[in-house]
Amino acid sequence: MDRSDRYTTGRKMLDEIHRGPGKQIMERIAGICPDFERLITEFAYGDIYSRPGLDLRTRQLCTIAALTALGNGPRQLKAHINGALNLGISREEVVEVIVQMALYGGFQCAQNALLLAAELFEEREQ
């Protein structure tokens, strides 16, 4: 797959998963460093998210788990929780993945992620 195919595939994947916060993050990154936006789009979404081994639902839940356990990407976590909801993953499933990560990332990471999820749930209701 050449670079333009990777970017096109990545954009399609981004558009399928992210609406709102995720797209806004990418637009802001493109505004300050278009090359970095391209790298994320091509590699993360064009190469990794588009692989056939897992469905998007599973990939989103894995991403939420990783970001929760790491505890250092609140903007990305919020965007991926939003993406999960866009894909039809329930709030309950998101919450359970976050609670599970208390075992691996610690209670503070899970607590912060739950508060962030609650904030996003409220925003989506309005």
pTM of the entire predicted model:
0.91
Question: What is the model's pLDDT at position 23?
Answer: 76
Q: Is 12 left (phi over 0), alpha (psi -120 to 50) or beta?
A: alpha
36 and 25 co-located in one domain: yes
pLDDT digits (tens, 9 = 90+) for 41-95: 999 999 999 999 999 999 999 999 999 999 999 999 999 999 999 999 999 999 9
For residue 85, the domain's CATH number is 1.20.1290.10
Name the helix (H) or strand (E) containing 106.
Answer: none
Mean pLDDT of the chain: 94
Numbers of helices and strands, H then E, in the chain: 8, 0
**How far is residue 23's CA from residue 15's CA, in Å, rounded to a whole number?**
8
Domain boundary among 53, 68, 96: 53
Residues 47 and 96 in one domain: no
The residue range of the domain holding 46 is 1-53
Note the pLDDT of residue 51: 95
